[in-house]
Structure 1
Amino acid sequence: MEDIGEKSSPANSTSDVEKQGPPPAEGLKRNLKSRHLQLIAIGGTIGTGIFIASGSSLSRAGPAGALIAYAFVGSLVFSVMLSLSEMATYIPIAGAFTRYAARFVDPSLGFSMGWIYWFSWAITLALELTASGLIVQYWNTSLSIGIFIAAFWAPITLINFLPVHFYGEFEFWFSSIKVVALFGFAIFAICIDAGVGKEGYLGFKYWNHPGAFAPYLLDSTGAKAKFVGFWAVLIQAGFAYQGTELVGIGAGESTNPRKTMPAAIRKTFWTVFSLFVLTIFFIGLLVPYDNDSLITGNTDAAASPLVIAANLAGVSVLPGLINVVLLTVVLSAANSNIYTGSRILVGLAEENCAPSFFQKTSTRGVPYYAVSFTAAFGLLAFMNLSDNGGKVFNWFLNIISVAGFIAWSCINICHLYFMRALKAHGVSRDTLPYKAMWQPYLAWYGLVFCVIITLTQGFTAFIPWDTTNFFIAYVSLILFVVLYIGHKVVTRSRFIDPLTADLDSGRFREETDVWEDSPRSRWKRVIDYIF
Structure 2
Amino acid sequence: MTSKSHGLPANSLNRFTYSSAFSALIATSAAEFHFWTGPDGNRGIDGGIIYLCFPIMLIFLNTFAIEIYGFTEVISGTLKLLFLGVIMAFLIAINVGAGNEGYLGFKYWNSPVLLDSNSANNWGTGFLICLSIATFAYVGVEIVAASALEAQWPNNTHADARTPSDISQRSVDTLIGNTVKFSAKHISSLATIVYSISGFLVSLDIPWNDCYLPRLSWTKETAGSDCSSPLGKKTADTTSAFVAIGLESGIHHIGHVFNAFLVFTCLSCASTQLYVASRTLFGLTSRLDGGEGQPWFLHALAWIGRTNHRRVPVRAMVISAAAFCWVPFLQLRGGTNSTTPIGMFVEILAQMSSVGVIIVWACEALAFIRYYHCIRRHRTVLEHQKVPQVRRWCDESYDDYPYRSHGQPVLAYVAFIGCLFILFVANGASVWKKFHWFPFLASYITVMAFLVLWVALKLFRGSNWSFVDLSNPERVVRKIRDLHDVRLGASSL
TM-score band by shorter chain is: 0.7 to 0.9
Instruction: Give yes or no for the alignment of 1:109 onto 2:6.
Output: yes
Distance 1:219 1:412 in 2: 32
Are 1:216 and 1:226, in contact at CA under 8 Å, matched by a contact in 2?
no
- 1:137-176 alignment, distance < 5 Å: 137-141=34-38, 142-144=41-43, 145-147=46-48, 148-176=50-78
Shift of residue 201 of structure 1?
5.2
2:331 aligned partner, one-letter code: N
Matches within 5 A, 1:258-273: 258-261=177-180, 263-273=182-192
SS in structure 1 at match of 2:122: helix
Residue number in structure 2 paired with 1:512:
none
Q: How does 1:183-194 map to 2 (within 5 A)?
A: 183-194=85-96
**Equivalent residue number for residue 393 of structure 1:** 346
Cα deviation for residue 205 of structure 1 reads 2.8
The answer on 1:409 being equivalent to 2:362 is yes
Equivalent in the alignment of 1:454: 423
Matched AA of 1:461: V
Match of 1:507 among 472, 481, 484: 484
Q: How does 1:67-106 map to 2 (within 5 A)?
A: 104-106=1-3
1:265-300 Cα distance to aligned partner (Å, 9 max, x none): 3332233222111110110111111212125458x8
Does the Cα contact within 8 Å between 1:247 and 1:265 map onto a contact in 2? yes
Find the aligned partners of 2:54 and 2:437 in 1 and give their Cα distance.
Answer: 37
Instruction: Give the corresponding residue for 2:151.
Output: 254
1:126 equivalent in alignment to 2:10: no
Partner of 1:316: 252
Q: Per the alignment, do residues 351 and 414 of structure 1 end up closer, same or farther by CA in structure 2, a change over 3 Å counting?
A: farther
**Cα pair distance change 1:425/1:194, threshold 3 Å:** same
Tell me how far apart the structure 2 counterparts of residues 435 and 133 of structure 1 sit (CA, whole Å). 41
Q: Which runs of 5+ in 2 are unaligned?
A: 155-175, 218-235, 290-297, 335-340, 383-390, 394-398, 487-493
Corresponding residue of 2:319? 373
Instruction: Summarize the alignment of residues 324-403 of structure 1 with structure 2, pairs less than 5 Å apart.
Output: 324-350=260-286, 355-379=301-325, 380-387=327-334, 388-403=341-356
Does structure 1 conserve the Cα–Cα contact (< 8 Å) formed by 2:287 and 2:302? no
**Preserved CA contact (<8 Å) 1:134 1:301:** no
2:29·2:267 contact (CA, 8 Å) conserved in 1?
A: yes
Unmatched 5+ residue regions in structure 1? 1-103, 510-531
Q: What SS does the aligned partner of 2:308 have?
A: coil
Q: Write out aligned runs for 1:198-277 (5 A).
A: 203-209=104-110, 211-217=111-117, 225-255=122-152, 256=154, 257-261=176-180, 263-277=182-196
Q: Which amino acid aligns with 2:424?
A: L
Contact 2:96 2:105 in 1 (8 A): no
Superposition pairs for residues 25-36 of structure 1, below 5 Å?
A: none
Alignment of 1:404-443 (within 5 A): 404-426=357-379, 427=382, 428-430=391-393, 431=399, 432-443=401-412
Structure 1 counterpart SS, 2:114: coil
Question: How far is the alpha carbon of 1:468 from its aligned partner?
Answer: 5.4
TM-score, with structure 2 as normaliser: 0.75
Residue equivalent to 2:81? 179
- CA displacement at 1:126 relative to structure 2: 0.7
Identity among equivalent positions (%) equals: 21
Root mean square deviation, CA, Å: 2.7
Which range moved further: 254-263 or 126-135? 254-263
- How big is the shift at 1:351? 6.3
Whole-Å Cα distance in 1 between the matches of residues 352 and 286 of structure 2?
25
Contact 1:217/1:228 (CA < 8 Å) preserved in 2? Answer: no
1:508 Cα deviation after fit: 8.9
State how far apart, in whole Å, the 1-side matches of 2:194 and 2:442 are. 30
The alignment status of 1:497 with 2:469, answered yes or no, reads yes
**Greater radius of gyration (CA):** 2
Report the AA paired with residue 234 of structure 1.
L
* 2:306/2:315 contact within 8 Å kept: yes
For 2:438 and 2:99, locate their aligned partners in 1 and report how far apart those are by CA, in whole Å: 45
Contact 1:395/1:472 (<8 A) preserved: yes
> Are the counterparts in 1 of residues 149 and 283 from structure 2 also a CA contact under 8 Å?
no
Q: Give the TM-score taking structure 1 as reference length.
A: 0.70
Q: Report the equivalent of 2:338.
A: none
Q: Is the 8 A contact 2:128 2:429 kept in 1?
A: no
- Whether the aligned pair in 1 keeps the contact of 2:88 and 2:198 (CA below 8 Å) is yes
Bigger fraction of residues in helix: 1
Compute the displacement of 1:394 (Å): 3.2
Give the paired residue count.
Answer: 401
CA deviation map 1:383-410 (0-9, x unaligned) = 2223342233233122112112111111
Q: What is the CA-CA distance between 1:110 and the residue it aligns to?
A: 0.8
Is contact 1:122–1:374 with CA below 8 Å preserved after alignment?
A: yes
Secondary structure at 1:496 match in 2: coil
Inter-partner Cα distance in structure 1 for 2:2 and 2:288: 16
Counterparts of 2:119 and 2:370 in 1: how far apart (Å)?
Answer: 45
Q: Which residue of 2 aligns with 1:475?
A: 445
Match of 1:26 in 2: none
The 10-residue stretch of structure 1 (269-278 or 383-392) with the greater mean CA deviation from structure 2: 383-392
AA in 1 matched with 2:468: I
Residue of 413, 427, 441 corresponding to 1:444:
413
Amino acid at match of 2:273: N
